[in-house]
């Protein structure tokens, strides 16, 4: 009791001291409302918001109810001649009924069983097959598994990989100082694990074992395990085997070291060789056997979508987006907790989206329509946003911008802000100008090597050319500066990210989120009231795609740059 009272007093004192500037910055946004919504949908009652579970029904109904109460209109699928709040998102669902079994034959007379989730994490198949039945399949080390002709790089050197399991390194060849031009520390799309699997599928390999290392992956094994050993989803595809090999897995580095040692190789030396352009694939002596039976089905998940029609240009839109899903119920943590609440990831984003809808509905209508899109299955690979971008409700060509939020500020107001990745676009210039009005500065993504550009829903829109950003809260906190901001951020990543302990805390300070919500509100409102079409920078790989639809906007594109090489999302 005494402790609580003391804390309350201390918090009040801080709040009072900071009130004038912050209150102005927060505009019509209320930290209490943001906190209340976050607390509600991250409670155990929402069971971690797994797509296509009973928690989905509860979650999407909650969001639709909030949209309705805010006073916006439904913009989803037409049901009985009327727009509903929901856009059906058909997903391929694949899961192992029981954990698959593995036997690694090291090739030196020894063999060992591997345990799913411990040394290896195998994704349930998404190539259209349901049975994994491998008998002594040879392993082939292919370095970073990259084919990039425009960068004069090819790790495969014409090796036939059919029927083989590829052992590959995570990130790209110059991440730790190798040759080649892959953005240095920043991650190109060649560094993303999705690329590794896609390239293996294109080449007809049986599968991939990505060697997990925390630094180049930018997250720990817990994340790998929690994200890949649950139920897997993809959007329903015509030819899934063109995108997915049968066997998509990660292995821990100590196991890789053992595999290389049994072949008379040193892992570090092999890795050093992979950083060079003249790298040659290395057949390993080890073989892998595996058995698993997946249940594969098609299910429907849903995006929730509402809008406020524009007064003069209703066919033109500004989209606010955030993903509603998290990891659902999964493996228990040390405390026996099985519910992955996702209070920061991404109940905060949904709280902000709902409050944007409410605040927009209370203000005079804008010239362009404003769309509020709560997407599903982000955690399964940006699938809800991918589905919307491929099956848009409002024309993609006339979508002026997408403002995505994935994670909000919970440590109080910050002097700066960021976006995911180091892309350059007009929408960012507008955001920076808007931030200046709050007396705040823009910090470029401090960790472009983590590949955050490919890890949030704005990427689905960028791929179809729409100027899109994922806003990131600042780390230079008004209370405690960068030192405190970085320490808190690191603590969250280490202890709570994608773990059951990502839970709402009474100590979280939602004033920072209110300040950010107001910043994003002003950005979107100004764009929705303008005739401007902010574009990607001239050297952006998304510029050419956007400019292809310029005529639909009544624009004449300036000298369009050459299209980017296929697969280059750097």
Residue numbers at the binding site for Zn ion (CB under 5 A): 345
The residue (of 329 and 393) whose beta carbon lies closer to Zn ion is 329
By CB neighbour count within 10 A (0-12 exposed, 13-18 middle, 19+ buried), where does 156 fall? buried
Min separation Cβ 498 and Zn ion, Å? 6
Lookup result for tokens 């350059």:
424
Min separation Cβ 379 and Zn ion, Å? 5
**How many Cα neighbours within 13 Å face the side chain of 121?**
21
Residue 235 Cα distances to 321, 428, 491, 500, angstroms: 19, 30, 34, 26
Min separation Cβ 48 and Zn ion, Å? 11
Min separation Cβ 495 and Zn ion, Å? 15
Q: Which residue is nearest to Zn ion (CB)?
A: 345
**How many Cα neighbours within 13 Å face the side chain of 56?**
20
| Cβ pair 467, 402 in contact under 8 A | yes
Beta pairing partners, 496: none
Min separation Cβ 482 and Zn ion, Å? 24
The residue (of 342 and 512) whose beta carbon lies closer to Zn ion is 342
**How many Cα neighbours within 13 Å face the side chain of 221?**
16
The residue (of 284 and 322) whose beta carbon lies closer to Zn ion is 322
Q: Give the count of beta carbons closer than 10 Å to the beta carbon of residue 554.
A: 9
Min separation Cβ 298 and Zn ion, Å? 24
**How many Cα neighbours within 13 Å face the side chain of 142?**
30
Which one-letter DSSP state was computed for residue 565? P
Sequential DSSP letters for 285-328 = EEEEEEEEEEEEEEEEEEEEEEEE--SSEEEEEEEEEEE----E
The residue (of 345 and 457) whose beta carbon lies closer to Zn ion is 345
The residue (of 231 and 540) whose beta carbon lies closer to Zn ion is 231
**Can you count the helices (H) and strands (E) in the chain?**
15, 23
The residue (of 60 and 327) whose beta carbon lies closer to Zn ion is 327
Closest CA to 262 of 37, 112, 413, 55: 112
Min separation Cβ 380 and Zn ion, Å? 10
**How many Cα neighbours within 13 Å face the side chain of 458?**
25
Min separation Cβ 511 and Zn ion, Å? 24
Min separation Cβ 345 and Zn ion, Å? 4
The residue (of 345 and 547) whose beta carbon lies closer to Zn ion is 345
- To the nearest 10°, report the CA torsion of 241, 244, 247, 250: 180
The residue (of 107 and 381) whose beta carbon lies closer to Zn ion is 381
The residue (of 53 and 518) whose beta carbon lies closer to Zn ion is 53
């Amino acid at each position: 009791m005494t402790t609580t009272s003391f804390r309350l007093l201390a918090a009040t004192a801080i709040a009072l001291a900071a009130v004038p500037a912050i209150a102005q910055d927060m505009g019509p946004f209320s930290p209490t409302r943001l906190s209340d919504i976050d607390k509600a949908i991250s409670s155990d009652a929402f069971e971690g918001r797994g797509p296509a579970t009973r928690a989905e029904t509860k979650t999407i109904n909650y969001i639709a109810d909030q949209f309705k109460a805010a006073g916006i209109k439904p913009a989803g699928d037409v049901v009985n001649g009327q727009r509903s709040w929901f856009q059906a998102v058909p997903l391929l669902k694949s899961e192992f009924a029981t954990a698959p079994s593995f036997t690694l034959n090291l090739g030196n007379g020894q063999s060992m069983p591997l345990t799913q989730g411990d040394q290896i994490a195998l994704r349930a198949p998404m190539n259209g097959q349901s049975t994994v039945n491998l008998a002594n399949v040879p392993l082939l080390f292919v370095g970073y598994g990259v084919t990039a002709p425009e960068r004069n790089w090819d790790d495969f050197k014409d090796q036939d990989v059919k029927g083989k399991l590829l052992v590959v390194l995570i990130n790209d060849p110059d991440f730790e100082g190798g040759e080649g031009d892959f953005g240095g520390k920043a991650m190109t799309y060649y560094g993303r694990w999705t690329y590794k699997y896609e390239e293996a599928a294109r080449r007809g390999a049986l599968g991939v074992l990505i060697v997990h290392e925390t630094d180049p992956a930018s997250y720990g094994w817990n994340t790998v395990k929690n994200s890949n050993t649950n139920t897997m989803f993809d959007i329903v595809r015509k030819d899934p085997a063109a995108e997915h090999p049968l066997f998509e897995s990660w292995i821990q580095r100590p196991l890789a070291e053992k595999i290389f040692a049994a072949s008379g190789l040193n892992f570090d030396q092999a890795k050093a060789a992979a950083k060079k352009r003249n790298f040659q694939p290395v057949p390993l002596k080890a073989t892998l056997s595996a058995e698993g039976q997946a249940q594969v089905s098609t299910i429907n998940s849903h995006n929730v979508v509402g809008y406020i029609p524009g007064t003069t240009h209703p066919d033109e839109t500004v989209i606010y987006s955030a993903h509603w899903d998290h990891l659902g119920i999964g493996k228990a943590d040390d405390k026996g907790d099985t519910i992955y609440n996702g209070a920061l990831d991404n109940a905060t984003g949904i709280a902000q989206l709902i409050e944007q809808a409410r605040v927009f509905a209370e203000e005079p209508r804008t010239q362009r329509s404003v769309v509020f899109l709560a997407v599903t299955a982000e955690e399964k690979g940006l699938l809800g946003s991918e589905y919307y971008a491929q099956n848009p409700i409002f024309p993609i060509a006339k979508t002026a911008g997408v403002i995505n939020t994935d994670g909000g500020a919970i440590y109080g107001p910050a002097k700066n802000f960021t976006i995911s990745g180091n892309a350059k676009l007009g929408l960012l210039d507008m955001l920076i100008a808007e931030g200046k009005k709050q007396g705040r500065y823009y910090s470029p993504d401090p960790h472009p090597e983590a590949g955050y550009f490919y890890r949030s829903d704005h990427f689905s829109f960028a791929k179809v050319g729409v100027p899109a950003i994922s806003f990131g809260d600042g780390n230079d906190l008004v209370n405690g500066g960068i030192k405190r901001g970085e320490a808190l951020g690191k603590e969250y990543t280490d202890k709570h990210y994608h773990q059951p302990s990502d839970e709402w805390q009474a100590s979280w300070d939602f004033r920072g989120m209110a300040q950010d919500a107001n910043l994003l509100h002003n950005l979107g409102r100004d764009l929705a009231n303008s005739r401007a079409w902010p574009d990607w920078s001239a050297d952006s790989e998304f510029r050419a795609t956007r400019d292809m639809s310029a005529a639909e906007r009544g624009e004449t594109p300036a000298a369009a740059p050459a299209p980017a090489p296929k697969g280059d999302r750097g």
